[in-house]
Amino acid sequence: MKTLVVVSHKGGTGKSTLSIHLAVQAQSEGRDTLLVDLDNHSSTVAERASIRTDKHPLVVTAKVSDITDLHQQATDEGFDLLILDCPPYLNDDTDQITRLADYTILPTSPRFTDICTLPKNIEKIHQPFSVVLNSCTPDPVGQISFKTAQVYQVLNDSGTPVSPVHITRLEAFTDALNYGQGVTEYQSNSKASKQIKVLLDWLYTIS
Ligand SMILES: Nc1ncnc2c1ncn2[C@@H]1O[C@H](COP(=O)(O)OP(=O)(O)OP(=O)(O)O)[C@@H](O)[C@H]1O
Ligand SMILES: [Mg+2]
């Protein structure tokens, strides 16, 4: 079983959004996926799952204190992929959770104010991990936007690991969630869909 952890030191960076869209796409590729909502305060994942008609991927809520047992149980039950959507802070639990991960991603907005606070926060994350730029300015066709390219440069210069796949700001990501759907089932040929497929492929290649 592969374990993917989604963390951030800030709220609203797209952890739950990416967790749901990745889980739905993984399930549709035939990977039996368990999506775990560890955010007991906002529970976006569990709440969106409650309006899904399709009961796959399976979604459960859990406490951080139960995560080692849950990881073992998911392994025993034969899941192919476990995705852990974490609360919006990094603390001592982060080390415990990210130790279970084959790979960890940290979605962040491409705003410089958010990028600048990354280096001191990522120390709490067990490797391997990458920042995933989310809600980026839409790219011109066949190119990366100038703003996003600038952010990549800053992250590369500071030695922060960053995914080569970035996610742009697209309404489809939010619209799909209004129906409890992943974007790849909501609009399978959309730009948003392609980005999720490419991100999932990259995660499988790297981990
Ligand atoms: N790429 C995107 N394009 C458009 N909207 C997005 C994108 N990513 C996230 N959003 C929207 O941003 C908001 C915050 O996203 P989300 O709830 O996934 O963040 P989060 O990191 O899980 O937040 P929290 O820390 O509160 O759990 C949501 O309304 C979501 O639909
Ligand atoms: Mg969330």
Ligand located closest to 45 CA: 2
Summarised one tens digit per residue, pLDDT across range 50-106 is 999 899 999 999 999 999 999 999 999 999 999 999 999 999 899 999 999 999 999
Per-residue pLDDT tens over the stretch 159-184: 999 999 999 999 999 999 999 999 99
Nearest-CA residue for atom 14 of ligand 1: 12
> Secondary structure of 106-160 in the HEC alphabet?
EEECCCHHHHHCHHHHHHHCCCCEEEEECCECCCCCCCCCHHHHHHHHHHHHCCC
Q: Could you give the angle at the alpha carbon of 121 between the alpha carbons of 164 and 183, nearest 5°?
A: 45
Q: How far is the CA of 160 from the centre of ligand 1 (A)?
A: 22
pLDDT band, very low/low/confident/very high, at 121 (cuts 50, 70, 90): confident
Average pLDDT along the chain: 96
Give residue 207's pLDDT.
93
pLDDT at 120 over 90: no
CATH number of the domain at 19, please: 3.40.50.300
For residue 85, report the distance from its CA to the centre of ligand 2, in Å: 7
Strands 33-37 and 81-85: parallel
Fill in the amino acid letter for 142: G
Atom from ligand 1 closest to the CA of residue 13: 21
pLDDT, position 38: 97
Q: What is the pLDDT of residue 142?
A: 86
User: Domain residues for 13?
Assistant: 2-206
Predicted confidence band of residue 7 (pLDDT cuts 50, 70, 90): very high
Burial 65-88 (b: 16+ CB within 10 A, else e): eebeebbeebeeeebebbbbbbbb
Number of domains present in the structure of the chain: 1
Q: Locate the ligand 1 atom nearest the alpha carbon of residue 11 and give its number.
A: 25
Mean pLDDT of 45-50: 94
Sheet (strand 103-108) strand order: 58-61, 33-37, 81-85, 2-6, 103-108, 129-133
pLDDT at 143 over 90: yes
Kindly state if the Cβ of 136 falls inside 6 Å of ligand 1. Answer: no
Q: How far is the CA of 141 from the centre of ligand 2 (A)?
A: 30
What is residue 119's predicted lDDT score, i.e. its pLDDT? Answer: 85
What's the pLDDT at 8? 96
**Among the atoms of ligand 1, which is closest to the Cα of residue 8?**
21
Measured from the Cα of 134, ligand 1's closest atom is 1
- Check pocket membership of 134 for ligand 1, CB cut-off 6 A: yes
